[in-house]
């Protein structure tokens, strides 16, 4: 089946096309979600949202990029949406506590439960620290760093996913590494 026929079948709602879409992308999307949101249940929820969005928006797919690139864009956007939503809830709870509302504040970072199945138990604490640091990066840097270092995407693929030039992606990656180095350096200085 050609790419065009496959996309045509998706647009027409053919069950076999959606079955193939899930077969081809389910694990990739879930792993990308898990890279951004290191909590298995939340990553599964976001992955499901991605496929619902693909189903609902397939007619908006213009075909000027690969289908996989379009799906990765949706995936990174859905992951960031959840992260922003969680951060907004934490800020709201904090503001409520300042104004006298007795709502308890969750002082833990949303990502304290690190539940990535591929990580050995003895690495768990160190990886929690690294993921917390990654989540402190500005969105553009976080996306580039996660897609490259955790998902193994090339700079060219990332450039297509995020819609930025190759030099912009390289620059974002350089800044992400520098910022992570500083964040982790400060953490270990304060710890020691």
Identify whether the C-beta of residue 63 lies closer than 8 Å to the C-beta of residue 8: no
Average pLDDT over every residue of 129-155: 87
- The whole-number pLDDT of residue 113 equals 47
Q: Is 118 left (phi over 0), alpha (psi -120 to 50) or beta?
A: alpha
Q: Give the Cα-Cα-Cα angle 98, 100, 102 (nearest 5 degrees).
A: 105
- pLDDT score for 59: 92
In contact, 44 and 29? CB cutoff 8 Å: no
Q: Evaluate if residue 118 carries a pLDDT over 70.
A: no
Q: Where in the chain is the domain with CATH 1.10.1740.10?
A: 1-113
- Every domain range in the chain assigned CATH 1.10.10.10: 136-192
Against a cut of 0.75, is the pTM above it? no
Phi, psi of 153 (to 5 degrees): -75, 145
Nearest to 89 by CA among 106, 114, 101, 112: 106
Top CATH class, 1-113? mainly alpha
Could you tell me which CATH number the domain at 136-192 has?
A: 1.10.10.10
Q: Pick the more confident residue, 122 or 141.
A: 141
Q: Residue 164: its pLDDT value, please?
A: 92
Q: For 142-158, what is the mean pLDDT? A: 89
Which of 46-60, 64-78, 97-111, 122-136 has the least mean pLDDT?
97-111
**Using only C-alpha atoms, what is the Rg of the chain?**
19
> What per-residue confidence (pLDDT) applies to 89?
60
Range scoring the smallest mean pLDDT among 52-56, 62-66, 158-162, 183-187: 183-187
């Amino acid at each position: 089946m050609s790419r065009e026929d496959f996309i045509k079948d998706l647009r027409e709602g053919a069950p076999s096309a959606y079955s193939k879409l899930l077969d081809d992308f389910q694990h990739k999307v879930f792993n990308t979600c898990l890279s951004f949101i290191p909590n298995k249940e939340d990553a599964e929820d976001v992955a499901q949202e991605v496929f619902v969005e693909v189903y609902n928006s397939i007619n908006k797919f213009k075909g000027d990029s690969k289908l996989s690139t379009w799906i990765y864009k949706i995936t990174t956007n859905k992951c960031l949406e959840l992260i922003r939503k969680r951060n907004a809830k934490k800020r709201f709870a904090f503001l409520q506590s300042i104004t006298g509302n007795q709502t308890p504040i969750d002082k833990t970072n949303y990502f304290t439960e690190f539940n990535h199945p591929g990580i050995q138990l003895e690495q768990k604490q160190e990886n929690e620290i690294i993921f917390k640091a990654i989540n402190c990066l500005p969105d553009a840097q976080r996306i580039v760093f996660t897609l490259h270092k955790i998902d193994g995407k090339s700079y060219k693929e990332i450039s297509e996913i995020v819609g930025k030039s190759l030099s912009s992606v390289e620059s974002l990656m350089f800044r992400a590494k520098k910022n992570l180095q500083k964040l982790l350096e400060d953490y270990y200085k304060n710890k020691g």
